[in-house]
Chains A and B, each alone.
Chain A
Amino acid sequence: MDLFDILVSILGSTIRLSVPLVFTALAGLFSERAGVFDIGLEGKMLAAAFAAACAAYVTGSPWLGLLAGIGVSVAFSILHGFASITNRGNQIVSGVAINFFVAGLTIVLGQAWFGQGGRTPQLPPDGRFSPIILPGADALRGVPVVGPLYANVISGNNILTYMAFLAVPISWWILYRTRFGLRLRAVGENPGAVDTAGISVTWLRYRAVICAGILCGFSGTYLAVAQSAAFIKDMSAGKGYIALAALIFAKWKPVPVMFACLLFGFLDAFANFMQGKAIPGIGEVPVQIFQALPYVLTCVLLAGFIGVARPPKAGGVPYTKER
């Protein structure tokens, strides 16, 4: 394989690996910009993956799988809201609780229902989201440079991939160009002011966490029904935390979120490619370096060496209405 083919193949898997990160990081964006920290992204994604795999297996339709994934993920969002908005509990504790509860429950239910050690049964090809060949992909394949890029990176992904990259401008538009978005951002900075304007802080924050739930539903479904063809235990494998890191790395802004996710996806793809290969002059680079790099980069950013990451001001603080 020459260098260009390698690049195309790495870029292709970068796209595929960043999709769940994009959805999940955008989910975190909605929640955290409204002032609700969400450590439970990982758990919601895992719950959605399990629900989507089960529903897609039972009904044979990936779309019903997606619906089930979103439904379950939103249910956990509302639980998070109930604990952290209504009961003013600790948002981080609530997220941690959801992560554990889901990590255990998916395996317990999976084993009880299907008896395959926490797996769900393999989905048939038409039970999942399959790749879409964009028009002209085969015709252009012969064109140098542009052809392979178009055919192997841009074309040939499943519908959820395109939705992920569509979700970025939509999220930007909602957050920066709608009344809801303005209020959502305001409630994350100064809930008292929003309350004074006669807008319900509680309802606004609930809507924000529901948005987060919907997006986590997409990312979980992508894992189980598009990328794989079954739910495998712990299949989110820390992606929720990487997405959280990407969100911070992007300083809580939608378009940078996409680029941060692509960067972390690229690191993942590059690590897979480098496994067992030696770089001339350096030797074999341990794969753990690439695994740790997103976290190291985020910590370096948090330390203030790459600009300042300033979280939403009211993040993590439950709002108590004054009387």
Chain B
Amino acid sequence: MNTASLPLPGWITYGLIPLINLVLAFFFSGLVVWFIGENPFDALALMLEGALGSGEGIGFTLYYATNFIFTGLSVAVAIHAGLFNIGSEGQAYIGGLGAALVALALDRYVPWYVTMPFAIAGAAIFGAAWAFIPAFLQAKRGSHIVITTIMFNFIGAALMVYLLVNVLIVPGKMAPETRTFLEGGQLPKLDWLMALFGLKLGPAPFNVSFLIALAMCLVVWLLVWRTKLGYEMRTLGISPTAAVYAGIPYSRTVIIAMLISGGLAGMMALNPVLGASARLQVEFVGGAGFVGIAVSLMGRNHPAGIILAAILFGILYQGGDWVSFEMPNITREMIVVIQGLVILFAGALEYMCRPALARLYYSMAKRGV
């Protein structure tokens, strides 16, 4: 029986299947932990304690989640237009340059709330610019966007190292980073938000970027499901030929979708650069762009799903640090293993369980359950 065309109710497609995939990913992660001789349940308990057991832990968890919301949205917008933007990493890196240049220019003269809109614009414009060439090549020359965005990640990394080592470095210092921004170039922490819940933030770098990220979730939702452009993007994503036949301009839509995607990726830089370290450092993105792929896949490319998935990955990142501290046998890279398994099961093997579930569902429906 060919089950691919049989319709399934929403709660199976959007609830049960993602849940099963997630459980499988964590089951295999647990196997890896067990294989290296640690108790997976102890590791899980430690992870939750580290990520959610204190105000500081929650602050770090949400700080990481902020990064992943931005990059997850970036990947999701592109996916809706049928484009796989693997370059969020590089776009965020270059976005950091835009944000840092704004902070360096303004921090002496104005308070943070004046700097912030310019920094957002700077980060978004630089991120979008880095997405433009791959987008243009895809739209006009038919070059595969996956390949070009991978290439641009490497080109961006080389460019940023060059700029930080040779141009932006503080004269006389060894570390390849800019000077520390003054208060006018820093995004304030959200102590007050944590205090509302009776929690103390401590040294965790949880900052205003989180609120910007939430606002962007709303913007993306409106854009994708409530505007003409979003409709055009989704049509293009489902069937480029149908979209072109319906009069939707292919090149324009591809380029605009990628510019939005790159802009969102670039805005991720606000969180670590202006919110946490108050300076531009080498490799500050630290793989968040790639986590965005996992977050977007897991969140079914929907902002609400992306927030949940980003928080889950925030828990993994913060809790993972805690676990590696308490169980030296499990290194921090265990997070990367889990990330790979989530991408595998929630992405590549997305429909592995579908035929079996469809058969089960229809045999139960036939019996009149």
Chain A residues with CB under 8 Å of chain B are 37, 39, 82-84, 87-94, 96-105, 107-109, 111-113, 118, 238, 241, 244-245, 248, 286, 288-289, 291-292, 295-296, 298-299, 302-304, 309, 311, 316, 320, 323
Contacts and interface: CB of A to CB of B under 8 A. Distances in A.
Interface string B150-167: 111011001101100010
Given A111-B331, A299-B148, A98 B344 contact: yes
A107 B84 CA distance: 28
A108 B351 contact: no
A83 B348 contact: yes
Contacts of B349: 82-83, 87, 89, 94
A292 B155 contact: yes
A303 B155 contact: no
A302 B146 contact: no
Contacts of A244: 147, 150
Contacts of B36: 108-109, 112-113
Contacts of B144: 302, 311, 316
B343 A96 contact: yes
Contacts of B338: 104
B37 A112 contact: yes
A289 B154 CA distance: 11
Contacts of B159: 288, 292
A39 B149 CA distance: 12
A93 B333 contact: no
A323 B84 CA distance: 30
Contact of A291 (B143, B158, B350): B158
A298 to B, nearest CB: 6
Nearest to B337: A104
Nearest to A110: B331
Task: In the A-B complex, list the 8 residue pairs whose CB atoms are closest, starting with the nearest.
Answer: A101-B340, A104-B336, A100-B340, A94-B348, A104-B337, A97-B344, A112-B36, A302-B143
Interface in B1-49: 2, 4, 32, 36-37
A304 B144 CA distance: 12
B343 A93 contact: yes
A316 B82 CA distance: 13
Given A96-B290, A303-B141, A89 B340 contact: no
B141 A304 contact: yes
Most chain B beta carbons < 10 A, residue from A97, A98, A248, A288: A97
B334 A104 contact: yes
Given A244-B147, A286-B166, A302-B147, A89 B333 contact: no
Contacts of A309: 143
A97 B147 contact: no
A311 B150 CA distance: 17
Interface in B168-208: none
A109 B35 CA distance: 9
Nearest to B291: A100
A188 to B, nearest CB: 14
B341 interface: yes
A294 to B, nearest CB: 8
8 contacts: A93-B293, A97-B343, A101-B336, A101-B337, A104-B337, A108-B333, A286-B162, A299-B143
Interface of B: 2, 4, 32, 36-37, 84, 86, 133, 137, 141, 143-144, 146-148, 150-152, 154-155, 158-159, 161-162, 166, 290, 293-294, 297, 329-331, 333-341, 343-344, 347-352
B150 A101 contact: no
A83 B333 contact: no
Determine the main DSSP class of B at the interface with A.
helix
A113 B32 CA distance: 13
A93 B297 contact: yes
B147 to A, nearest CB: 6
Contacts of B290: 96, 100
Contacts of A105: 32, 337, 340
A93 B348 contact: yes
Contacts of B294: 100
Contact of B341 (A88, A101, A286, A320): A101
Contacts of B152: 295, 299
A92 B148 contact: no
A96 B293 CA distance: 9
Contacts of B146: 37, 39, 92
A303 B331 contact: no
B154 A104 contact: no
A108 B294 CA distance: 20
Contacts of B340: 97-105
A37 B294 CA distance: 19
A127 B148 CA distance: 40
Contact of B158 (A37, A87, A288): A288
Nearest to B335: A104
Contacts of B333: 103-104, 107-108, 111, 118
Given A100-B337, A302-B143, A304-B141, 12 more contacts: A92-B84, A94-B349, A100-B290, A100-B294, A100-B340, A104-B335, A108-B337, A111-B329, A118-B333, A296-B155, A299-B151, A303-B141
Contacts of A241: 150-151, 154
A98 B336 CA distance: 11
A91 to B, nearest CB: 8
Contacts of A111: 329, 331, 333
A263 to B, nearest CB: 15
Contact of B154 (A90, A238, A286): A238
A245 B151 CA distance: 8
Contacts of B329: 111-112
A144 B32 CA distance: 58
A248 B147 contact: yes
B359 to A, nearest CB: 16
Nearest to A296: B155
